[in-house]
Amino acid sequence: MPDSRPDSRPESPAPLHLAVALEGAGWHPAAWREHDARPAELFTARYWADLVAEAERGLLDLVTLEDALSLQSAHPFEPDERTDQVRGRLDAVLVAARIAPLTRHIGLVPTATVTHTEPFHLSKAVATLDYVSNGRAGLRVKVSGRADEAAHFGRRPAPRLSVEDFDTPSGRAVLEELFGEAEDYVEVLRRLWDSWEDDAEIRDVATGRFIDRDKLHYIDFEGSRFRVRGPSITPRPPQGQPLVAALAHRSEPYRLVGRAADLGFVTPRDADDARRIVAEIREAQAAAGRAEETVHVFGDLVVFLDEDPGAAADRKARLDTQGGAVWAGDAAVFTGTPAELADLLQEWQQAGLTGFRLRPGALPYDLEQITRGLVPELQRRGAFRTAYEASTLRGLLGLPRPASRYAPAVRDANRAAGALV
C-alpha cells in the first residue's frame, strides 16, 4: 500500500554557488611533483585553458586566478630562498583575457594587487576582459603590506608586518590604511566603469557621429589617496559593473567586503565560525547602506578528494612528506570523499554562506574530483545546477545589471535622496 503519511523529508536546500581557485600546480607546495602534474606547462596558455575548460564542464560559477607582486614564498610577508617549490607566475588578468574566447559560460576572476597599481589602468583592463568574455569578468582585489613588493615601485615605504603585529595599535592602523585605500580604489573602479552611459556610442555613419560626448562623464574622484578625473577610455562594460571580490580573514577586510564588494571569500574553521563571519559582514553591509543588495559570502576550503575513503588523506600525507613538513594554509584543509565534502558544504551553508570557493590541493586531480565527483553528488541532492542558466557572471550569481550612476534618471534619483555621486 502507498504510504499516506505526510512527507517528512527535509526541504531541498537552496542551490549552492561553486568556484575554484587556481594556483600553479595546486595549493599544496609539493603538488608539482605529482605524476599527473604539468610543471613544464605552467607558463603556457594551454595549461590554464585546460583547467578552466574542466571547471566549465563542471558548471562552476567562476574561477579565480591567483597573482601577486612578488614570487611565491613559504613566508607570508617576505621572500624565501626555497628552490623545491613552484616560483613564478603569469599575469592573471592577461591569462583571463587569453582564456575568455575559449569558454562560454564560466566567470573569470583574476587577482590584482591594488596597493601599488593605478585604478585607471586596472579599470580599463577589467572592462576589456568583460568585453572579450561577453560579460563574464570579475576582479579579486588584493592589498599588499610587503616591503619587497613596495621596493618594486619605489613610491612609498612599506612597514614591516608580521601576523603577530596585526592586533597591536600600529598593526591595526596599517591594516585600516591598506583596506581603506582598497575601498577607495574600488569606488574609483566603479565610477570609471559608469563614466560612459550605456548608449554613449552612436556609430551613425550618415551623420559622422560615433559617440555622444554628453554621455561621457568626469568622475572627479578626490580622496586622501587618489585624484582621478576620468572618464574612462573604454565604453561601459557589458555587465555595467564587472564583479568585485575580495578575500577576507579578519575585521578590516570584512568591512571592505560589506562596504564595497559583490563577493567575499572567507576562511571559517567550522560552521559556528562561518556564522560569526557572515554576521560581521552583514553588519558592515548594513552600516554602508547596502542592506538590500546581494553580497555573496563564499567559504574557502583547500580540498583533497578521492572516492576511496582515506585515500585523500594518504595522498596529502605523502605530499607533506615530499615537502618536508605538514602543510597548512590560511584556509581549512579538507581530505575525504566527494560525498563527505557535500555533507560539509551543506552544513556550512546553513550558517549563512551562499557558496564556496574550493582550492584544489593538486592539479588537475583534485579539480577533476570536484567537477566529476562533487558536482554530480550535489546535483543528486538538488543542491547544484544541472545547466548554466545565465550568460553573464552577474546573472549566474543572481546580481542585477546596475544602471550607470551618471545616467540622468539615476543622477536625479540620487540627488533627490541626498546621495553623493
Q: Encode pLDDT of 307-365 as tens digits.
A: 999 999 999 999 999 999 999 999 999 999 999 999 999 999 999 999 999 999 999 99
Distance CA 231, CA 61 (A): 31
Q: Is 304 helix (H, G, I), strand (E, B) or coil?
A: strand
Banded model confidence at residue 8, pLDDT cuts 50, 70, 90: very low
Binding residues for FMN, by number, are 67, 111
Contact criterion met (CB below 8 Å) for 334 and 304 = yes
Whole-number pLDDT of residue 9: 42
Q: Which whole number is the average pLDDT over 45-52? A: 98
Q: Count CB-CB contacts under 10 A for residue 316.
A: 23
Distance CA 71, CA 87 (A): 6
Binding residues, by number, are 67, 111
- How deeply is 322 buried, as exposed, middle or buried, from its count of CB atoms within 10 A (0-12, 13-18, 19+)? middle
At residue 319, what is the residue type? L
Whole-number pLDDT of residue 118: 95
Distance CA 416, CA 409 (A): 11
Whole-number pLDDT of residue 20: 98
Distance CA 271, CA 283 (A): 18
163 or 329, which is more confident: 329
Q: Count CB-CB contacts under 10 A for residue 390.
A: 16
Whole-number pLDDT of residue 416: 64
Mean pLDDT for all residues in the chain: 93
Distance CA 289, CA 293 (A): 9
Contact criterion met (CB below 8 Å) for 36 and 365 = yes
Distance CA 267, CA 246 (A): 12
Question: Using omega within 30 degrees of 0 as the cis cutoff, is the peptide bond preceding 364 cis?
Answer: yes
Q: Does residue 7 carry a pLDDT above 50?
A: no
- The domain ranges of the chain are 17-414
Q: Count CB-CB contacts under 10 A for residue 185.
A: 27
Contact criterion met (CB below 8 Å) for 208 and 226 = no
Looking only at the bridges linking them, the beta strands covering 355-360 and 296-305 are parallel
Q: Encode pLDDT of 356-391 as tens digits.
A: 999 999 999 999 999 999 999 999 999 999 999 999
12 or 177, which is more confident: 177
Contacts of 415 (CB under 8 A, 6+ apart): 421
Q: What are phi and psi of 413, to 5 degrees?
A: -65, -40
Q: Encode pLDDT of 280-299 as tens digits.
A: 999 999 999 999 999 999 99
Angle between the N-to-C axes of helices 251-260 and 271-287, in degrees from 0 to 180, rounded to the nearest 10? 50
At residue 188, what is the residue type? V
Whole-number pLDDT of residue 5: 43
Whole-number pLDDT of residue 421: 46
Give the distance between the most distant pair of CA atoms in the chain. 80
Banded model confidence at residue 77, pLDDT cuts 50, 70, 90: confident
193 or 166, which is more confident: 193
Contacts of 224 (CB under 8 A, 6+ apart): 184
Whole-number pLDDT of residue 160: 73
CATH of domain 17-414: 3.20.20.30
Q: Count CB-CB contacts under 10 A for residue 3.
A: 6
Whole-number pLDDT of residue 3: 46
Whole-number pLDDT of residue 14: 79
Contact criterion met (CB below 8 Å) for 107 and 20 = no
Whole-number pLDDT of residue 167: 87
Banded model confidence at residue 163, pLDDT cuts 50, 70, 90: confident
Q: What are phi and psi of 348, to 5 degrees?
A: -70, -25
Banded model confidence at residue 419, pLDDT cuts 50, 70, 90: low
Q: Does residue 87 carry a pLDDT above 80?
A: yes
Q: Does residue 418 carry a pLDDT above 90?
A: no
- E strands, 59-152, are 62-65, 107-113, 138-142
Q: Which whole number is the average pLDDT over 6-33? A: 83
Instruction: Say what percent of the chain tops pLDDT 90.
Output: 86
